[in-house]
């Protein structure tokens, strides 16, 4: 028997952590609904070229981290939405219960192992 309440609590915890991380490195573009990286706040705008290169590298690594975290957050939000559905935990193809281990690994899963999404 799936413990929906526990899954929901875990998801909400992970969601809050992800949002905190994302807020440190970027901002939510309210128009597109996408997270985007922002450069670290500049203490000295007239920084020398070496600093600028460092900052650029820093921004690059922030961007790639945001690109990893944002899809994870979206997946969790999707899963939280799915939790409210009557059919949560059931495969959309065969209507059988999805393996609990699979749901734990990916709470947004909508198919059993046999009917894995592409």
- How far apart CA 79 and CA 10 sit, in angstroms, is 11
Nearest-5° angle of CA 48, CA 52, CA 54?
A: 120
Q: How far is the CB of 101 from Zn ion (least distance, A)?
A: 15
Q: How far is the CB of 89 from Zn ion (least distance, A)?
A: 12
38-97: contacts with Zn ion (CB under 5 A): 91, 93-94
Q: Which is nearer to Zn ion, 26 or 89 (CB)?
A: 89
Stretch in the footprint of Zn ion (CB under 5 A) among 3-11, 51-59, 82-90, 107-115: 107-115
86-105: contacts with Zn ion (CB under 5 A): 91, 93-94
- Both tokens assigned to 35: 């997270």
Q: Which is nearer to Zn ion, 62 or 110 (CB)?
A: 110
Q: How far is the CB of 82 from Zn ion (least distance, A)?
A: 16
Catalogue the long-range contacts made by 73-77 (C-beta closer than 8 Å, 24 or more residues apart).
73/15, 73/18, 73/19, 73/22, 73/35, 75/106, 75/108, 76/11, 76/14, 76/15, 76/18, 76/107, 76/108, 77/15
Does position 115 interact with Zn ion (CB under 5 A)? The reply is: yes
Point out which residues bind Zn ion (CB under 5 A): 91, 93-94, 112, 114-115
């Amino acid at each position: 028997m799936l413990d929906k309440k526990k899954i929901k609590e875990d998801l909400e915890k992970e969601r809050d952590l992800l949002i905190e991380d994302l807020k440190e490195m970027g901002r939510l573009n309210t128009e597109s609904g996408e997270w985007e990286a922002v450069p670290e706040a500049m203490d000295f705008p007239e920084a020398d070229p070496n600093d600028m290169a460092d900052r650029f590298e820093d921004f690059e690594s922030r961007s790639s981290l945001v690109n990893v975290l944002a899809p994870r957050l979206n997946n969790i939000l999707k899963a939280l939405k799915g939790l409210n559905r009557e059919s949560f935990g059931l495969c959309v193809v065969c209507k059988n219960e999805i393996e609990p281990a699979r749901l734990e690994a990916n709470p947004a899963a909508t198919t059993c192992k046999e009917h894995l999404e592409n």
